[in-house]
Amino acid sequence: MNYKIEGGNLPVLLCHLEAGEEMMCEGGSMSWMDDEIEMKTEGGGIGKVFGRMFSGEKMFQNRYIANRPGEIAFASSFPGSIRAINVTPDKPVIAQKSAFLASFGNIEVSVFFQKKIKAGLFGGEGFIMQKFSGNGIVFIEIDGSAVEYDIAAGDCKIVDTGYLAAMDATCSIDTRTVKGIKNALFGGEGLFNTVVNGPGHIIVQTMPIMKTAAAIDPFITKTSASAD
């Protein structure tokens, strides 16, 4: 399989498959493909089906198999970036809900539960994220541009709500209370920040979809009110 990502901040993943090669994606993610490629819809066990639902994905996945060499395309659902991440048995990856776009190879998509209640309640990423394990390449959607860091053991990165896109499974998430009453009340960052502890690699995003929605909502509301 050869792939390239085009389209700038409205990206699309273009994958050229050789005969016998296949890719997986959630239902509805395929944008266009050659006639040489065949689709098969799969659900898996009941646990996997509901696991995908809880992690923000559709309940069924589509498998695309190349009967002869051909191209298949997966466009991003939101302005941003597409990142290709190599997954190995000793290096699973954790990502935000709904990050999964497509995969090549033996990639297992499962639910990742936050172990710390405080991190799940106040860390901004929620109790449920996605976990990618196995051996292959997973392609994920990033809201806006992606910025990547390597965090050493014993070090951490403080991230505002919604900005963490993905991290190595060796990282862990915690929360930290914003110090100072004045900072907490008037600083605009809320009472808690997400703390991502190393060691491991992380990807942060510049335009979280929830932040974007909150920013444009007053204008949409005003336009709707004017129309009425």
Q: What is d(CA 17, CA 71) in angstroms, rounded to the nearest whole number?
A: 6
pLDDT in tens, 150-201: 999 999 999 988 899 999 999 998 887 766 454 444 444 556 778 999 999 9
Average pLDDT over residues 107-116: 78
Residue 66 or residue 116, greater confidence: 66
> What pLDDT, on the 0 to 100 scale, is given for residue 92?
97
Average pLDDT, the chain: 83
Q: What is d(CA 103, CA 1) in angstroms, rounded to the nearest whole number?
A: 11
User: Burial, 45: exposed, middle or buried (Cβ in 10 Å; 0-12, 13-18, 19+)?
Assistant: exposed
Enter the tokens of residue 179. 């110090």
pLDDT in tens, 35-94: 999 999 876 554 555 555 554 455 678 999 999 999 999 999 889 999 999 999 999 999
To the question of pTM greater than 0.95 for the whole model, the response is no
Domain-wise residue ranges, the chain = 2-215
Closest CA to 140 of 13, 3, 8, 19: 13
DSSP helix/strand/coil, 206 = coil
Strand partners, 194: 159, 175
Tell me the backbone φ, ψ of residue 77, rounded to 5 degrees: -90, -5
Residue range 2-215 in CATH 3.20.20.80: no
